[in-house]
Amino acid sequence: MSKDAYIHKLLPGNPGSPLVFAFHGTGGDENQLIGFARELVPGATVVSPRGDVSEMGATRFFRRTGEGVYDMDDLARATAKMAGFVKAHIEAEKPSAVYALGYSNGANILASVLFAASDVFDATALMHPLIPFAPDVKGSLAGRRVLITAGRRDPICPPGITSRLDSYLRDAGADVRLEWHEGGHEVRPNEIEAAKQFFAKTEQGQ
């Protein structure tokens, strides 16, 4: 496990505050969501890694062979590497709680880490995830809070696959909230508000 396995930014927070991981979408970098994460959880320490895969110049966390077709071997590699990175930062920071958010490709690597290491995150926000496979959840997600946000007309993440992910997570014991909007792959204001409320209620123990 290494805190430096990925190029990343760390935004220090208040002593004893939660630790929030922020995972960017395809073509983004460590700057894309770091400010948003701090806005969602004021005072938190934020860690935002940069994906280590390039797809025609666009940064990602794992390879794919086509739209919605994942290189599963590379996803397994990336998941193990990211889980180690996350655990190393948790060990170093010793936070009061561990949260994470990801958008698009970032939501996908976050979900994959959640499946592989179900005890790592207390709460996760998956914004427009696309999980086109049945996950093998290691352990139980009982007591873990998950927010999924999605667009009903998202050409990249079809609503049926989003609903299936919702079912997978519930079956694994997670406390899931699903927030929809009527658009596509873009993030809309109701998603941002849902994420703010989600983390605020998590902080309050509700």
> Is residue 61 helix, strand or coil?
coil
d(CA 77, CA 61): 10
- Name the residue with tokens 């062979």: 65
80 φψ region: left (φ > 0), alpha (ψ -120 to 50), beta (else): alpha
Is 185 part of the annotated catalytic residue set? yes
CA angle 21, 23, 25 (to 5 degrees): 165
d(CA 65, CA 183): 26
Indicate which residue of 17, 48, 104, 118 is catalytic: 104
Is 163 part of the annotated catalytic residue set? no
List of E strands, 75-144? 98-103, 123-127
d(CA 149, CA 12): 27
Beta-sheet strand order (sheet of 145-151): 8-11, 45-49, 19-23, 98-103, 123-127, 145-151, 175-181
Is 24 part of the annotated catalytic residue set? no
Tell me if 180 sits within 8 A of 158, measured CB to CB: no
Indicate which residue of 128, 154, 166, 181 is catalytic: 154
Residues with catalytic roles: 104, 154, 185
